[in-house]
Structure 1
Amino acid sequence: MKLSEGLNVNISEVKNIIFDWGGVITDLNIDSVILAFKNLGFHHFDKAFAHDTDQSFFLGFETGKIKEPEFLKILRKYLDRDVTDRQILDAWNSILGDLPPERWTILNEVKKTYRTFLLSNTNSLHVSFYSQKLSAIYGRNGFDHLFEKIYYSHILGMRKPDRNIYEFVLQDSRLEPGETLFIDDNPENITTARELGMKAYHLAAPVTMTDIFC
């Protein structure tokens, strides 16, 4: 399986592909998570969740500076009612959509042609939840077998679109920027990748991952 034509990049030069997770491999249910927390009494979750503010404690969780117990404790301060940890976790994980079988197949096939990697701004709760979900659906615990290497922001202590996380991935896996295609749904993340010499494709609706491989 190879990249399709029409991506506005020279696909003949591509030897490596770096995938984003949410918004590329799986859909993100932003409205669902906002509603879920509103139902728990967090009425301004959308503003707190906005990643355009460095004050957001969500960013601390994504970079591993805030651990799970502290994160749940902070979340509880915003709720106007008593809820269980399970209710909070269910609300938090509701942002993650399913991984359709056709995308699962693509990831299994495309690694036969390219070196593939995963680079995601994420957190320990989402990784744990989705590993269990993939195990139940596909019999695989997580994404490990789909990629040569996985890079998670909460483990590295860095996040996109900061240049340092891209530079780390390129150096760690010895990737030539000009031979590497970066696929992400966030324009800011795409900009940084291009500044570092990578080829980049902004995946935006209605296009999905299935449309860019053949």
Structure 2
Amino acid sequence: MANNLQNSLQTCETLMLDMDGTLLDLAYDSFIWLEVVPKEFAIKHRVSNDVAQKKIYQYFVDMQGSLDWYCLDKWSQLLDLDVLQIHRQHKSRINFLPGAKDFLEKVSRLEKRLLLVTNSNRDVFLLKSQITGVDQYFEKIYISHELGSPKEDQKFWFSLQQIEPFNPVTTCFVDDNPEVLKSAQKFGIKSLFHVTQPDASTTKSQNSEFDAIKGVFELIPLKN
């Protein structure tokens, strides 16, 4: 299995990587959105934590898969909180997933066009890049807000191909979101890898209909 995954990577011309939950530990984002934001919302609006969590969860459900779901300005408006400042206050929790930095250092030396494609908000991306240096490994970085659609939407891939003329047949794409992978598959990208342990604070793995990997470290032997 490992050899097959690594062979797929060796034969591709373009390697596209997601950021949150693929390279960077989703534990940070989970902490922000599941613990800190509900707590701050409860304090600001003088409601119980339970009420705050239910309110925010409903927003999650209503906006999931849309560009607004990833938009900090939208969340700040909805919640009447400075969500970016909350991210900054807890920036010490930002970190690579196990093996991800070693993977990037190795794969960046291969003859591949290495692209970061992320739904992250631009300000949060800049914050995470400042802390981790994740941006330095890529030839190009594409943020869905700047293309007008999230990766779950076919419009994202068509817009991306207009400015980055990649061949879907010779492209590998790695993401932790199965809905994003389904969208990439529909567009025609052949080599798709699903990171099933995006959060290092838990060993629980997601089920997958794609080639499943615990982390990107499985794509290249770290001892090479």
Common topology (TM > 0.5): yes
2:39 is aligned with 1:39: yes
Amino-acid identity (%): 21
Aligned length: 190
Once the 2 structures are TM-superposed, how far is the Cα of residue 126 of structure 1 from its aligned partner? Answer: 0.9
1:74 matched to which residue of 2? 78
Alignment gaps of 5+ in structure 2: 43-51, 198-204, 206-213
Q: 1:158 to 1:76 in 2, by over 3 A?
A: same
- Determine the C-alpha separation between the residues in 1 that align with 2:105 and 2:144: 23
Question: In the alignment, is the contact (CA less than 8 A) between 2:98 and 2:215 conserved in 1?
Answer: no
Residue 53 of structure 1 is aligned with which of 59, 62, 74? 62
2:168 matched to which residue of 1? 177
Question: In the alignment, is the contact (CA less than 8 A) between 1:13 and 1:178 conserved in 2?
Answer: no
Question: In the alignment, is the contact (CA less than 8 A) between 2:94 and 2:131 conserved in 1?
Answer: no
Q: 1:204 to 1:61 in 2, by over 3 A?
A: closer
Residue 151 of structure 2 is aligned with which of 156, 160, 169? 160
2:119 is aligned with 1:112: no
- Determine the C-alpha separation between the residues in 2 that align with 1:93 and 1:149: 28
Alignment gaps of 5+ in structure 1: 78-84, 135-139
Question: In the alignment, is the contact (CA less than 8 A) between 1:9 and 1:200 conserved in 2?
Answer: no
Residue 23 of structure 2 is aligned with which of 7, 25, 34? 25
Residue 218 of structure 2 is aligned with which of 208, 211, 214? 211
Q: 1:102 to 1:204 in 2, by over 3 A?
A: closer
Secondary structure at 1:154 match in 2 = helix
Once the 2 structures are TM-superposed, how far is the Cα of residue 49 of structure 1 from its aligned partner? Answer: 5.2
- Determine the C-alpha separation between the residues in 2 that align with 1:153 and 1:193: 14
- Determine the C-alpha separation between the residues in 2 that align with 1:40 and 1:150: 32
Secondary structure at 1:40 match in 2 = helix
Once the 2 structures are TM-superposed, how far is the Cα of residue 72 of structure 1 from its aligned partner? Answer: 2.8
2:105 is aligned with 1:98: no
Residue-by-residue CA offset, 1:64-119 (whole Å, 9 max, x unaligned): xxx74x65343227xxxxxxx4x862258759741258422321321221111011
Q: Greater share of helix residues, 1 or 2?
A: 2
The TM-score, its normalising length taken from structure 1, stands at: 0.73
